[in-house]
Amino acid sequence: MKELVKGHFVKRNDLMKAPIVEIFSSFQGEGLWIGKRQIFVRFAGCNLSCNYCDTPNSQNASNGVLKSPEEVLEKINELKTPDLHSISFTGGEPLLYPDFINEIVDKTDLKIMIETNGTLPDSLYKIKRMNCVSLDIKLPEHFDGDWDENILNNEFLSLKSLVENNIKFYCKIIISPSTNLDVIKRIGEKLHDKFMDEKFTIVIQPQSPIEQWKNNSDILFDFSELLGEYFEVFTIPQTHKILNIE
Ligand code: SF4
């Protein structure tokens, strides 16, 4: 895990800014809120470096343009449409910037979604209002050697905070045709042991591009059956890529 980079936002004369890659309107392409119209605020900067990352440009904070919460809100207001479901804070890792997100949350009535890698439980805990959360469960294979159990432990702490605060969420697990069933089994059992009484939803997300599943789709049923023993399970690919939209 990369060292958590602090100070990605700066305060100048009480003006807080954060590095933003883009703000745009589209359909949510992943998970339980798939198809919902959202305004996406993509932060630059991430504390992880997953090898499948489909937004590599957002991993480095220096790739963003520093914007104030007011500038972000102005753009959000420009992009509002009648079918809008929520603002999605995404990245990179949006929870590197909890104070900045709170500045926006304080000034809007729009619903808030957070798309997070789940490894920053203290920051998640700080967010004043969240209507829905997508939280990744990272696998060892998602990293070129720098996965450690702390990643999973921090994801579990984030989940605990969501459960305790009664926030709607789902866990997302990205799998590839070579993902090891035993690894998923171990994580599933660990999750079940920790949160035995909770009703969890897990979204299994077959890695894009979807063509790689053409002759491998059988194992998707294996993953679903394995996790379905303990959780509500959906298997959903990234639809925005199929539609060729952002
Ligand atoms: S956590 Fe998300 S943004 Fe960060 S490297 Fe992994 S996939 Fe990319």
The verdict on the CB of residue 87 being under 6 Å from ligand 1 is no
Give the pLDDT score at 7: 46
Pairwise pLDDT comparison (33 vs 148), residue with the higher score: 33
Give the pLDDT score at 245: 84
| For the chain, counts of helices (H) and of strands (E) | 7, 10
Give the pLDDT score at 69: 97
Nearest CA to ligand 1 atom 3: 92
Nearest CA to ligand 1 atom 5: 49
- Can you tell me which atom of ligand 1 is nearest the CA of 47? 4
The string of pLDDT tens digits covering residues 4-54 is 444 455 555 446 999 999 999 999 999 999 999 999 999 999 999 999 998
Between the CA of residue 58 and those of 55, 63, 152, what are the distances in Å?
6, 7, 22
Tokens describing residue 23: 């703000």
pTM (2 decimals)?
Answer: 0.92
Closest CA to 25 of 240, 229, 238: 240
Separation between Cα atoms, residue 214 and residue 203, nearest integer Å: 20
- Can you tell me which atom of ligand 1 is nearest the CA of 55? 8
Which contacts qualify for 72-77: CB closer than 8 Å, 24 or more apart? 72/20, 72/23, 72/41, 72/104, 73/104, 73/107, 73/108, 75/23, 76/23, 76/39, 76/41, 76/104, 76/108, 76/110
- Can you tell me which atom of ligand 1 is nearest the CA of 117? 1
Mean pLDDT value across residues 92-116: 98
Nearest CA to ligand 1 atom 6: 50
Given a cut of 60, is residue 1 above it in pLDDT?
no
Highest averaged pLDDT of the listed ranges 22-31, 188-197, 210-219: 22-31
Give the pLDDT score at 91: 94
The verdict on the CB of residue 55 being under 6 Å from ligand 1 is yes
Separation between Cα atoms, residue 188 and residue 223, nearest integer Å: 10
The verdict on the CB of residue 163 being under 6 Å from ligand 1 is no
Give the pLDDT score at 195: 85
Contacts (Cβ under 8 Å, ≥6 apart) of 191: 137, 156, 159, 171, 200, 230, 231
Give the pLDDT score at 145: 80
The answer to whether 105 and 128 have CB atoms below 8 angstroms apart is: yes
